[in-house]
Amino acid sequence: MSTNKAALIRYKTIDNCLRQTHRKWTLEDLIDRVSDALYEFEGIHNGVSKRTIQSDIQVMRSNKLGYNAPIIVLKRKYYTYEDPAYSISNSPLTHNDMEKMKEAVDILKHLNGFAHFEEMSDMIVRLEHNMAKQANDAATSIQLESNSLLKGLNWITPIHQAIRERIPLLISYKSFKSKQATESVYYPYLLKEYRNRWFVITKPKKGRILVTLALDRILDIQEMAKTGFVPYEGVSFDRYYADTIGVTKSERDRGQRVTLEVDARTAPYVETKPLHASQVVVNRREDGKIIIRLDVVLNFELEREILGFGESVQVLSPRLLRNRLASRLRRAYNNYSSDDTKNNAQTTDPPPNV
């Protein structure tokens, strides 16, 4: 293992500690946490010295790596960031960092030709795109979907680390329906992304069923003692979500057969971009319409996916889903059913020819 790699692990670990303002960090605490991280990621048993951590803090404070970290010592004992919002993760990449990233991408490109790595094309394009932005390349050759206003991305790293290290988390959470935030201890099991929004699948300490938390609704996270962690013992999450569009699912939900009629104009889009991996065409009609079948859980994301096609897709079965969408469409129609709207109603334009 190179020295640079070990140093990077130490810097990131110290950074993660100092970002947790709920507790006070002594030098000994930082030494213990860094030693755990080195053992976790690299299998190093002999820990790290006091002098090394002191040197790391000085490097982080300096401009040597471009961090200029505002690390201060309170009461001559406790280390923290003077700016609670600071993180070395927000620092711009150095020229040396960029060169190493390019080398890594070149290796990924080479592996992309092998069968086991054939799904890396999207990741490689995204890495190259982000490196081009960091280097301020003038020409733009690709645009990727992104949302600069998206909240909660800062929780991905600490939650991912907690999942890997099996650390319970005290999470302050405020759902869209709640007037006030609540604090509870959760055991984190899985980070899941859906449409640029991130979620963590957990089990509450005072509960028996899995709970899905949106990262953009998390207000604060505090690590608890590792000894209290309760591991997940259910089926693999690949199987758990195999019959699900999105993230909304309980352990009792099971996939159901959903049959949809798609008009001739929209059929090519649905066939080239299936709504779910289980999608199959069960009938092709002479007028160009197709009948497709999905085996999925009946959830909010499925409804939103179907409603997004408007009048182009009709639910044939199950009746429960058909009636539910019919009710939602009636309420939507009432929003536009004023006299002016009725008198000026026009046919919806066809989708662009792409």
User: Do 173 and 218 meet the contact criterion of CB atoms below 8 Å apart?
Assistant: yes
What is the per-residue pLDDT for 2? 43
If asked whether residues 21 and 86 sit together in one domain, one would say yes
Contacts 24+ apart (CB under 8 A), 122-128: 127/101
| Interatomic CA distance for residues 71 and 321, integer angstroms | 56
Number of independent structural domains in the chain: 4
What is the per-residue pLDDT for 38? 87
Q: What is the DSSP letter of 317?
A: E
If asked whether residues 119 and 158 sit together in one domain, one would say no
Q: Where residue 263 sits, what CATH number does that domain have?
A: 3.30.70
**Pairing status of strand 71-74 against strand 78-81:** antiparallel
Q: What is the DSSP letter of 349?
A: P
What is the per-residue pLDDT for 255? 93
If asked whether residues 264 and 282 sit together in one domain, one would say yes
What is the per-residue pLDDT for 148? 67
**C-alpha distance from residue 272 to each of 91, 196, 259, 267, 307 (Å):** 40, 21, 18, 9, 18
In a domain, 143, yes or no: no
Two tokens at 135? 């280097």
Q: What is the DSSP letter of 286?
A: T
**Amino acid found at 105:** V
If asked whether residues 128 and 171 sit together in one domain, one would say no
What is the per-residue pLDDT for 354? 47
| Tens-place pLDDT, residues 276-287 | 999 999 999 999
DSSP assignment string, 55-100:
HHHHHHHSSSSS----EEEETTTEEEESSTT--GGGSPPPHHHHHH
3-class SS at 108?
A: helix
If asked whether residues 172 and 221 sit together in one domain, one would say yes
Give the count of beta carbons closer than 10 Å to the beta carbon of residue 248.
17
In a domain, 239, yes or no: no
What is the per-residue pLDDT for 4? 73
If asked whether residues 53 and 18 sit together in one domain, one would say yes
**Amino acid found at 104:** A
Q: Where residue 183 sits, what CATH number does that domain have?
A: 2.30.30
CA within 13 Å, CB half, 168: 17
What's the pTM value of the predicted model, to 2 decimals?
A: 0.68
The range of the structural domain enclosing residue 193 comes to 153-234
What is the per-residue pLDDT for 246? 94
What is the per-residue pLDDT for 143? 63
Q: Spell out, as residue ranges, where the chain has pLDDT lower than 50.
A: 1-3, 352-354
**C-alpha distance from residue 317 to each of 173, 270, 286 (Å):** 37, 18, 21
Two tokens at 316? 């044939």
What is the per-residue pLDDT for 1? 40
In a domain, 110, yes or no: yes
User: Do 72 and 57 meet the contact criterion of CB atoms below 8 Å apart?
Assistant: no
In a domain, 346, yes or no: no
| Interatomic CA distance for residues 229 and 169, integer angstroms | 9
If asked whether residues 176 and 112 sit together in one domain, one would say no
